[in-house]
Structure 1
């Protein structure tokens, strides 16, 4: 009874740890992953893969939050926005957070085991990059690029899950992921650089004070211009690849135009560099991903 009561008491802390009430984070990861599944399958990829990648995305993003909060616990206590996080505040111990993160990652790996060898092989570097990201800000001028790699791994994994065979080799991955898919990854990396730079602009003053490196600090007074160029590269890349290499039509083009209109609005939100505007722009970015995904689904539905 006491153990059950203790677990019930801690449940809100674990939900807070994985940002359960803030789904924008896993939606930013989910939309590109689902887009890749649809592109690889040339339409609906089937309920099994849809369930595996949706649940796996939520689990791995949640595990990443556990790792991030443990790695940043000393930094977070000096930032007003993050000082109340469970690990930073001491409400959850480092061991409890790591154990919970390991459990979530293990559950995600069990889901991956239901796919095929190329996808399972890709899940290993995907986990390694996710673990490495929280420490990148200690050594890299633009650690957001590492996050971009981590948040783009669902794209090649989506292609291998649909097109991969039963071969345990790098060649099996190469055969399943065409060059255009890697181009889609590069465009997605640009999108991550755009929205995570907006996120970094929120905490720029605190990060400067405590010595953390971010793209917002590195870009300096060119931050807003760089964010808009990142958006242009991402959406322009997706539009070109979708039309030239994946056979998408006018529905996808309209979706990309709508996504670019959203990006222009974000530019207005961040141009004053106010915390509220930058954070709002970041939180709303998942709608850009959702819009692009909707365009892909529409064109591949053969309506």
Structure 2
């Protein structure tokens, strides 16, 4: 049996200081859980850094961070609207504002629109080619909440969505042609599948009861090995991306800290402990920093 999962919506940090009428909307956008926008942001930063724009386009790091916060919030609100009936049946998500009735569907839609307008302001800061690529993600985002009803691998679809920023960042700074960009994107997808499989371990029993599919359920007793394969694929693709930018064996050394961190996640993972799964998932914020450091060093080298 897995340990009881932590409630998804928690009044902590600055959210607890907000007026009571505002708090449900902050919780709806997951402002109490910054890990989500960090994980959405890191691929953007990877693309900017490895594409060679760390210095020449440094304001984009800040703009894309704002965009990650706003669009992750909008995505969460949209997801909660679609999943409100399922969320009400799962212990971890039953307290979400829409599922619990604290926020109406109408007001949630208006909140989604407001957050999307912030995303639009960020979009306008990008070059035209990057704008077009960014808009291409909307269909993937719209389809994501339905994937858990269709496929055992909704985490793979999330990988397509959460890794999209790598494409936008690279194109925004005029990164070079070749295999660097597709390998960077593929590595991010594999990373997302790995860490979101860990995240899904929290809900594995409730998901089975309500019929929700996930890679954690698909992997079953082999989840640790499955995550290891995902992380190994991510590191191999990122190594290939670094090599494509600078074909020198030394560039692979830059990934060693990230490789050690991801290996540590797998080795110490306790699939039956929801609290441990959440802690391992959240540690990918630091993993992203280590990967970004590797992209920055190689992408900025003369």
TM-score by length of 2: 0.88
Per-residue deviation, 1:293: 0.5
Q: CA–CA distance in 1 between the matches of 2:152 and 2:298? A: 39
| Counterpart contact for 1:156–1:177, Cα < 8 Å | no
Q: SS where residue 109 of structure 2 aligns?
A: helix
Per-residue deviation, 1:264: 1.9
1:40 to 1:144, Cα distance in 2 relative to 1, 3 A: same
Residue 44 of structure 2 is matched in structure 1 by 33
| Counterpart contact for 1:33–1:53, Cα < 8 Å | yes
Q: CA–CA distance in 2 between the matches of 1:252 and 1:58? A: 31
Matched, 1:259 2:270: no
After TM superposition, the structure 1 = structure 2 runs for residues 7-18 of structure 1, keeping only pairs within 5 Å, are 8-18=19-29
Per-residue deviation, 1:141: 1.6
1:198 to 1:126, Cα distance in 2 relative to 1, 3 A: same
Q: CA–CA distance in 2 between the matches of 1:288 and 1:227? A: 15
Residue 88 of structure 2 is matched in structure 1 by 77
Q: SS where residue 51 of structure 2 aligns?
A: helix
Residue 149 of structure 2 is matched in structure 1 by 138
1:206-243: CA deviation from partner (whole Å, max 9, x where unpaired) = 0000000111111222221110110011012212321x
After TM superposition, the structure 1 = structure 2 runs for residues 218-257 of structure 1, keeping only pairs within 5 Å, are 218-242=218-242, 244-247=243-246, 253-257=252-256
Comparing both chains, which one has the higher relative contact order based on Cα–Cα distances under 8 Å and sequence gaps of 6 or more? 2
Per-residue deviation, 1:205: 0.3
After TM superposition, the structure 1 = structure 2 runs for residues 132-281 of structure 1, keeping only pairs within 5 Å, are 132-163=143-174, 178-242=178-242, 244-247=243-246, 253-281=252-280
1:45 to 1:197, Cα distance in 2 relative to 1, 3 A: farther
Q: CA–CA distance in 2 between the matches of 1:255 and 1:41? A: 16
1:61-86: CA deviation from partner (whole Å, max 9, x where unpaired) = 11111011111111111211111111
Aligned length: 285
Deviates more, 1:25-34 or 1:177-186: 177-186
| Counterpart contact for 1:187–1:238, Cα < 8 Å | yes
1:283 to 1:187, Cα distance in 2 relative to 1, 3 A: same
Residue 105 of structure 2 is matched in structure 1 by 94
1:242-298: CA deviation from partner (whole Å, max 9, x where unpaired) = 1x2112868854442111211122113324432122111111112111101012223
Q: CA–CA distance in 2 between the matches of 1:39 and 1:272? A: 34
Q: CA–CA distance in 2 between the matches of 1:193 and 1:295? A: 21
Q: SS where residue 98 of structure 2 aligns?
A: helix
Q: Which ranges of structure 1 fall in alignment gaps of 5 or more residues?
A: 1-6, 165-175
1:37 to 1:98, Cα distance in 2 relative to 1, 3 A: same
Deviates more, 1:112-121 or 1:183-192: 112-121
Matched, 1:44 2:55: yes
